[in-house]
Every structure is written in C-alpha cells, then in structure tokens.
Structure 1
Amino acid sequence: MRALIVRHEHVTEPGLVGDRLAEHGYRLTTVTVVPEPRHHAPDVPFDFPDAADWDLIVSLGAPWSVYDHAAVGSWIDGELALLRKAHHLGVPVLGVCFGAQALTTALGGSVEAAPRPEIGWTEIETDLPALVPPGPWFQWHYDRCVLPPGAVELARNAVCTQAFRVGRSLGVQFHPEITTAMVRGWLGLGGAEQCVRHGVDPHALLAHSRAMEADARANTRLLVDGFLEQVANTTA
C-alpha cells in the first residue's frame, strides 16, 4: 500500500502519523514542495503526483495561508487539483492544519482568518472520541476552515472546527504528526518570535511538548487507526 506524504516545507515531517501508517504496512513516499533555500520565498514551481497512483494521501501543515496566492504562488492550485481528484476517485486523504484547509478549499469550502491564533497544547470537544480523541493536541494556526458541502464536523473548540469528515477523507486543524524536534525546528524558523508576539513562552512550549511526547503518540495512534478504519474504510 502506497501513501503519498505532501510536505510543504523542510522542517515538518510525517512524524507520529507516518510512524503509525508504517506500522499499518504503508510504504511512505514524501515529496517536499518548498525546498529550504526558498522557505521565505515559497512561490516555487512544483508538479504534484497523480492522485490515481496512491492508496492514501496525507497533506501536512505549512506556515502560509491557502488563500495567499501572492505568497505561495501557483503550486497551491496543483495541490487543490490533487486533493479534488483524490476525493472524486475515493482515495482517502488525511489533511493536517494547512492540509485540512487545502482539502476544504478543494472541495468547495473556504478558509478565513481565525478570531485569534492558537499556539500550544489544547483540548477539544469531540463527538467521536474513538476517532478524534479530545487531546490535548498541538496547535499552531492563524486561519480556520469554512466547511465544504457534505462535510460533517466531528470536533471543535471556541476558535474553529477542529476535525471534519468528507467522503473517505479526514481534516484536522491540529498537528497529530508533531514531535519535539519539529517544535524546535518551527521555533527556530521564526516561530519563537511569533510566540512572543502572542504571549506564548517559546521555552515553556518546547518543554511542554517534550512532556507530552507519550500522550501525543498514544492520541495519534488512536486518530490514525480511527481514520483508517472508520473514515477511509480500509483494513490496512
């Protein structure tokens, strides 16, 4: 079984999500849209693979906004086409943060600025804790999804929809893939300054992430298992 991992920048990895998919027997192929030298100028040319060639697609997070074409350039249109075709073919998609927002946009929803950013570990209200545990989950986002037609909200908090299902796909606003190394990398790429601007102590955030490692892995295992069994409807 072949899983395509769309990594938008060089620091984020499949992480805990990739680990659990591999345990289910998936062979992961990771493509990186924006290479490290272009991180601050992400409008690069990129040709996305064909959705028909994969059994499952994971679209990870990104520090940009789906609707900011001036920043990301034309590659976002290629990703939206990939996710739209996957949906029409019945190829399951797991969209994470930016990936969930891209899935929303591809299927006729939209993305807007959230009333406030969320940075840190947050519990959520969930309708299906066996599929989407209440967390705490790691969050780092400034936008939120306006769900497409046919999507079903599965979890939420006061800021936004936190998880939704559409067809065989699942979108989550939080970061189930997160590892301490990724948090450290995001902080080093300007995230520490963002934290300070929004009243978050970056050193405390890193320490909290380290303390959450075991819980994060357990929650992500439940999420990935639930996604495969209850949403993607696969016996992988």
Structure 2
Amino acid sequence: MQPVAICRHDAAQGPGHLIDFFDAHAIPWRLFAVDAGEMPPTRAGEYSGVVILGSPASVNDGLFWMRREEALLRDALRLERPVLGHCFGGQLLARTLGARVRRNSVPHIGWGRVLVTRFDEAAEWFGARRELELFHWHFDTFEIPRGAKRVLFGSYCMNKGFAIGAHLGLQSHLEVTADSVRLWCRNDGDEIRRNLSVSVQSEADILANLDARVTALHRLADRVYGRWAARLPGWHRIVVPVRPHTRPRGGESWGERLMRA
C-alpha cells in the first residue's frame, strides 16, 4: 500500500490522533513538515491519499508552498486519491475545487457544537448523531464547492464541513490531543485575549475538562477517519494486526515500518 501524504504547517497543529489511527490500522504515512522548511510534493501518484492540516496562514496568502499543495490536491482529485482537510486543509480543498475562501464574520476559537445536516453523505461520515462537539480555531471560512454537500454547520460559522465523493473538508479539528491544545493555547494565547467574545473561549474554558473532551472527540475521529481510510486504494489488502497507540522499538511508527518493508 502506498503511504498517505500529510502536510503540516505548524508544530502545534500536527497530525496528533490521526497518526495514532493510522498506526493502529497499519496505514503507512509520510509527513511533510512545511513549517520546518520541507516542501510538499506536487504529484499524488506515489500516495494513496492526501491530508492537509491546519495553518496560521490564510489560503489567500498565495505562498509558494500553498501553490505546491494546491497542485498536489488537483492531482489527487484527478487520480481519485482521497483528500482530507482539517481547517486550513478544508479551506485549501474548497479553493482547489473552485470555491471562495473569505474572512469569517467572527473568529471562532475553542470547543463548540456543530450540527450534522440531513444529507445521506453527512450520516455516512458522522453517523446518526445530529449534534457534535468539535475543536475550532479559525478566522476564515470556505464556501461549499459546486457538486459538494454541506455536512456540518454551526452558529458562528455556517460552513463547518463538506463532502464530495471520497473527499472531506472540515472547518474544525478532529486530530488535536490534550497536549497539542495546551501547546496551541501557550503559543497563540494572544489570539484568544485579543478576540475574547461569545465565539472565542477563554483559555481556562478551553482547558476545562480537556481530557474528557479530547477522548470524546477521538471516538468521533475514529469513525470519520475509518470512513475516509476505507476509500484508500489498497488498504483492504493490509492484514497485519497492529496494536493501537504503540510504536515499535527504535521510534519509528508502524506506518513508517510498513513503508520501509
């Protein structure tokens, strides 16, 4: 099986729980740390899927690495390789599909509920629940691309998620861990203090009951990631049993070991 390409743009917005899921299900992956100077690929042929994570930048900034990632997404769409976008990644996927990305009416930071639409596509990704609690940290928002369906919507941002075929764009975060949320608050707490309002929680509110909230978020993430991974070419042929949340000796992930094998 070919690895999944993961593009990271900020140390506090890493793949987090997504890597735990991949390793637990023997899905190989390759991380491109754009924030550390590593350039993402522009072709998707060597990858079974593409994941674009969050970023402190706007997709409208037109930076060099963003243009490379747009090229990567265009190629993934052409080759029908599943794309999963978290926050900035959802915006970049929407932009690549021809939709507009603009400033949201208000910043949205912290834990907050979103509602699941009644489209069949939404139930396929999120199950029968109509209300979810997700983690948010964004200033921009995407329009729903032509041909896609809105699958999530919220009070402070209408478009919280869209699906089109095997591709899912989210204006929120399923991948965060308790440690990454704490790091994010520590690194970017000034964004909270400058924008504190009904749509921006205080750091104390964000960190309250953090472990329980993250645990519930990961249960939802496992369902969503499972639906997305089921569309990866070749995954059903991986039959090696892997214990969840463990890593082999030497520090490499199970995914990396499978790739090397």
Per the normalisation by structure 1, the TM-score is 0.86
- Once the 2 structures are TM-superposed, how far is the Cα of residue 46 of structure 1 from its aligned partner? 2.8
- Answer 1 or 2: higher relative contact order, Cα 8 Å, separation at least 6: 2
**For 1:47 and 1:27, how far apart are their aligned partners in 2?**
17
Distance 2:33 2:195 in 1: 29
Partners of 2:41 and 2:235 in 1: how far apart? 27
The structure whose Rg is larger is: 2
Match of 1:176 in 2: 174
Counterpart residue identity of residue 167, structure 1: G
The secondary structure found in structure 1 opposite 2:140 is strand
What is the distance in 2 between the residues matched to 1:129 and 1:18? 24
Q: Is the 8 A contact 2:50 2:83 kept in 1?
A: yes
Gaps in structure 2 of 5+ consecutive residues: 237-261
2:195 counterpart of 1:194: no
Match of 1:85 among 53, 75, 79: 75
- AA of the residue aligned to 1:87: L
How many residues are treated as equivalent by the alignment? 223
Residue equivalent to 1:142: 139
Unaligned runs of 5+ in 1: 36-43
Residue 125 (structure 2) aligned to one of 112, 122, 131:
131
Instruction: Give 3-state SS (helix, strand or coil) of 2:208's partner.
Output: helix
CA separation in 2, counterparts of 1:160 and 1:208? Answer: 26
Contact 2:32/2:38 (CA < 8 Å) preserved in 1? no
Structure 2 residue 54 is matched with structure 1 residue 54:
no
- 1:47-102 CA deviation, whole Å, 9 max, x = no partner? 52521100011110011110023xxx221111111001100100001111000101
Identity among equivalent pairs (%): 28
Partner letter of residue 80 of structure 1?
A: E
For normalisation by structure 2, the TM-score amounts to 0.79
SS in 1 for 2:56: coil
Separation in 1, partners of 2:46, 2:233 = 18
Contact persistence 1:145–1:160 (CA under 8 A): no
Distance 1:202 1:84, change over 3 A: same
Q: Report which stretch shifted further, 197-206 or 169-178.
A: 197-206
Q: Give the superposition deviation at 1:123.
A: 1.4
Separation in 2, partners of 1:204, 1:149: 37
The verdict on how the C-alpha distance between 1:197 and 1:234 changes in structure 2, with shifts beyond 3 A counting, is farther
Following TM superposition, by how much is the alpha carbon of 1:164 offset from its aligned partner in structure 2, in angstroms? 0.8
Please give the alpha-carbon distance, in whole angstroms, between the structure 2 residues aligned to 1:22 and 1:173. 25
Counting only pairs closer than 5 Å after superposition, residues 11-90 of structure 1 correspond to structure 2 as: 11-35=12-36, 46-48=39-41, 50-69=43-62, 73-90=63-80
Question: Which range moves more in the overlay, 195-204 or 111-120?
Answer: 195-204
Partner of 1:161: 159
Q: Distance in 2 between matches of 1:59 and 1:45?
A: 14
